[in-house]
Structure 1
Amino acid sequence: MKQFFLSAPDGGASWLSKPHAAGRPVLMGILNVTPDSFSDGGRFQSPETAIAHAREMLTDGADILDIGAESTRPGFRLVPADEEWARLEPVINRLAPEGVALSVDTTKAVVARKALQSGVRLINDVWGFHADPEMPSVIADSGAWAVVMHNRHEVDDQLDLLADWRRFFDHSLELAEKAGIDRNRLILDPGVGFGKTQDQNVQAIAALGTLKREYGRPILLGLSRKSMFGYLLGRPIEDRLAGTLAANLVGADLGADILRVHDIREHADALSIRCLLKENA
């Protein structure tokens, strides 16, 4: 398996398993070991099918795999920490020793600690340190990377999104600083699809450059197959690849450093052509 290093001399986002063309975002493959995720729930619930799919994504060009064992879709069922870890452990224990770069999508500090002790390099917290008060100390103690995602409990169609981003991320970074987390190991996620109207989701993508300039941190963009494409295009979940690709290519142009996607091969191809054409423009 190819190696992938979540660090760079300048603390930036140039963590590449192999040299990529300039401006080519990192591809993060989504691996849901859940029965109820909105797009692929139940498909990769067994360790055997999950590992096979992980290998397929790596072959197709994934730089890092993000494993989730608790769905975060609207109306999701809360999973006890021991059940969440029981889903994660066999997959992590097979892939981490092979040098596969792994992220775990969890809001629970106890799960994050076990994952990091087992070789995971990044924790993807969809509540940006706001859900579990122990999460920042777990990240600090391990020296790991973390994704801090913007989220809201309720949708507000009158929301000033940029102001809410500042409120949320300022608090997240304050929690990180108090815990002793190196700011250079934090990645921000605008939280498309989480606590936002569909128009606010579009605004969040359009404002990626503002978020990056204000905080100076790498940006993760997670759009894959989301409901915004159903809203904008009238497409069912299984028919949202074209919309996802188009939005992610724009996101890359606006400064997204990591694209979190289901469809790795198609995104790798699209990004390769994008880079080729830009180089020859």
Structure 2
Amino acid sequence: MPNSIKNKFLYMGVVNATPDSFSDGGELQSIDSLNARLESWRSLNASWIDLGGESTAPFNKPVGHLEEWQRVSKALESFSDQDKISIDTFRKETILKSVEQNKISLWNDVSGKCDDDLVEVLKRHPDLQSVFCHNLAPSRAECHQHMQFLLNEESMLEELESYFGKALEWFDKQGFRQPMLDLCFGFSKSFEQNWFLLKEFPSFTQKFEQKYGAQQWILGISRKSFLKKLSLEKVDQDIRKQTEYMQASYLTWLATRLDIKGEVIVRLHDPALAYAVDILGDKL
């Protein structure tokens, strides 16, 4: 990867069409606010715009396919043919309908499952790229319960290497496009495990690529609860802003330590943060 901070990362801009998202529930419910956010991501040349219609936060009740699709389909009307659209869903019905309605580039499948649903979607749409996430919930239907299934405390890095390695072998055997890989911070990980893996991210990705070749890594820590837990209510900034400062600090730290041949795609909610990192990169 290039050495400047600015060129270390690509960006995936998040657009949540949800009233109950863990990070920004209801923030983009009006068409005007949605269009303004889309324009912001376009102006920053976001590599993908990631649209989600259901929150997978463990305390939120699943909404079902029909309600999720109603939210997604309405939001898709504001996208242009030039947008590289990613759909954040674990449901095959939602991704299949999305592909029929718009030119979708990426399925951000948080389920972590190599199953019949994945086979059906990728066989019908072989040009569709997908994201393979670390989620230990035993089925797609149980995705919201991911915090009940945590990494093994004694062998986290070995378990992750095996998990992603087996997935790459499965995709290759099926003849599908290689997926992007997402450690899925906040999913199937305790507070301490998230922070341990953030610290180990540079060395883990380097060692993994030495064995399996260059990868595309999704890095999503924007507005995660393990950041919020470190925020101080007495600080003269709201908690959301504090977490964005933490994320900017982490990205700066990470950029000086990454040494991989692949790409890191940072999943962000706030266009201003992507702009700030780019401006900083111009100076350093």
Do they fold alike, i.e. is TM over 0.5?
Answer: yes
Counterpart of 1:240 in 2: which secondary structure?
Answer: helix
Question: Which of 98, 102, 124 does residue 141 from structure 1 map onto?
Answer: 124
Q: CA 1:78–1:197 in 2, change beyond 3 Å: closer, same or farther?
A: same
Partners in 1 of 2:52 and 2:41 — Cα distance? Answer: 15
Partners in 2 of 1:138 and 1:114 — Cα distance? Answer: 11
Question: Which of 248, 253, 269 does residue 251 from structure 2 map onto?
Answer: 248
2:205 equivalent in structure 1: 211
1:4 equivalent in structure 2: none
Does the 8 Å CA contact 1:129/1:175 hold for their aligned counterparts?
Answer: no
1:110 equivalent in structure 2: 93
Unaligned runs of 5+ in 2: 137-145, 234-238
Q: Runs of at least 4 residues of structure 1 off by over 4 A?
A: none
Does the 8 Å CA contact 1:67/1:104 hold for their aligned counterparts?
Answer: yes
Deviations 1:117-154 (A, max 9, x none): 32110111112235x63124313432111111112332
Does the 8 Å CA contact 1:61/1:265 hold for their aligned counterparts?
Answer: no
Partners in 2 of 1:137 and 1:107 — Cα distance? Answer: 13
- TM-score, normalization: structure 2? 0.79
Unaligned runs of 5+ in 1: 1-12, 15-19
- 2:76 aligned partner, one-letter code: I
Partners in 1 of 2:248 and 2:69 — Cα distance? Answer: 32
Does the 8 Å CA contact 1:81/1:110 hold for their aligned counterparts?
Answer: yes
Does the 8 Å CA contact 1:223/1:244 hold for their aligned counterparts?
Answer: yes
- 2:16 aligned partner, one-letter code: N
Q: Work out the percentage of aligned pairs sharing the same amino acid.
A: 27
Query: Is residue 29 of structure 2 the alignment partner of residue 24 of structure 1?
Result: no
Question: Which of 258, 264, 267 does residue 265 from structure 2 map onto?
Answer: 258
Q: CA deviation at 1:233?
A: 4.0
Q: CA deviation at 1:95?
A: 1.0
Aligned length: 256
1:194 equivalent in structure 2: 187
Partners in 2 of 1:122 and 1:234 — Cα distance? Answer: 37
Query: Is residue 91 of structure 2 the alignment partner of residue 88 of structure 1?
Result: no
Q: CA 1:276–1:167 in 2, change beyond 3 Å: closer, same or farther?
A: same
Question: Which of 228, 231, 249 does residue 229 from structure 2 map onto?
Answer: 231
Deviations 1:238-267 (A, max 9, x none): 431110111122334425611101122232
Query: Is residue 24 of structure 2 the alignment partner of residue 40 of structure 1?
Result: yes
Query: Is residue 60 of structure 2 the alignment partner of residue 66 of structure 1?
Result: no
Q: Following superposition of structure 1 onto structure 2, how do residues 115-194 of structure 1 map, counting pairs within 5 Å?
A: 115-117=98-100, 118-130=102-114, 133-142=116-125, 143-152=127-136, 153=146, 154-155=149-150, 158-183=153-178, 186-194=179-187
2:141 equivalent in structure 1: none
Answer with 192-201 or 173-182: which moved more. 173-182
Q: Specify which structure has the bigger relative contact order, considering alpha-carbon pairs within 8 angstroms and separated by 6 or more residues.
A: 2
